[in-house]
C-alpha cells in the first residue's frame, strides 16, 4: 500500500486521482455515439475537476470536515460484469458500468488508506475522500436504475 508522509502527500495523491478521473470521463465521453451521453460524461469530467479544485483549496489551508452522513449503496455495480474499456464504441449501459466500478474501487482505496492511517488527520482526510467517491458511485447507480433497469 502507498505510504504517505503528510497530509500534503495525501492531497497531492487525491488531486492526481481526481485529474485522472476527469481524463477518464473525458475519454469515455469521446467514445459515446449519442450527443446526450457524450454531454453527460463531459459533465462528470467537469465535476471531477471541481473536486480537484476543492482538494487544492484544502491543500492551501481551507478547512474541511468529515460528514457523519452515510451514503446509500444500491450495490448495482457489484453484480455487473466487467466491460472492456478499450472498445471504441461503448454503450451507455457499459459506460455506466465502467464508471460504477471505477468509483467503487476509489471508495475502497480511500477506506483502506483510512484504516491504515497512522494519525487522525490523515484518517479523516481519507474518510472524506471515500465519502466523495461513494456519492459518485451512487449517482451512477441511480442513473443506471432510472435509465437501464427500467427499460428492461
- Give, in order, the Cα–Cα distances in Å from 17 to each of 49, 51, 91, 137: 10, 10, 25, 15
Name residues of the chain where pLDDT drops below 70: 1, 151-152
Nearest to 11 by CA among 49, 54, 47: 54
In this predicted structure, what is the pLDDT of residue 1? 60
| pLDDT tens readout for residues 98-110 | 889 989 998 998 8
In this predicted structure, what is the pLDDT of residue 62? 85
Nearest to 148 by CA among 92, 98, 104: 92
Nearest to 52 by CA among 103, 18, 89: 18
Nearest to 97 by CA among 145, 31, 52, 39: 145
pTM of this prediction? 0.80
In this predicted structure, what is the pLDDT of residue 49? 94
In this predicted structure, what is the pLDDT of residue 152? 56
Amino acid at each position: 500500500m502507498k505510504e504517505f508522509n503528510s497530509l500534503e502527500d495525501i492531497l497531492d495523491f487525491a488531486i492526481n486521482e481526481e485529474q485522472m478521473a476527469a481524463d477518464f470521463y473525458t475519454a469515455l465521453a469521446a467514445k459515446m455515439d449519442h450527443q446526450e451521453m457524450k454531454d453527460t460524461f463531459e459533465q462528470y469530467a467537469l465535476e471531477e475537476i471541481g473536486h480537484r479544485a476543492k482538494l487544492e483549496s484544502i491543500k492551501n489551508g481551507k478547512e474541511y470536515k468529515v460528514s457523519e452522513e452515510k451514503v446509500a449503496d444500491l450495490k448495482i455495480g457489484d453484480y455487473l460484469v466487467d466491460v472492456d474499456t478499450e472498445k471504441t464504441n461503448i454503450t451507455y449501459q457499459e459506460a455506466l458500468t465502467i464508471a460504477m466500478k471505477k468509483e467503487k474501487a476509489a471508495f475502497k482505496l480511500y477506506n483502506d488508506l483510512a484504516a491504515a492511517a497512522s494519525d487522525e488527520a490523515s484518517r479523516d482526510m481519507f474518510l472524506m475522500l471515500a465519502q466523495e467517491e461513494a456519492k459518485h458511485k451512487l449517482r451512477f447507480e441511480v442513473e443506471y436504475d432510472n435509465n437501464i433497469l427500467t427499460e428492461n
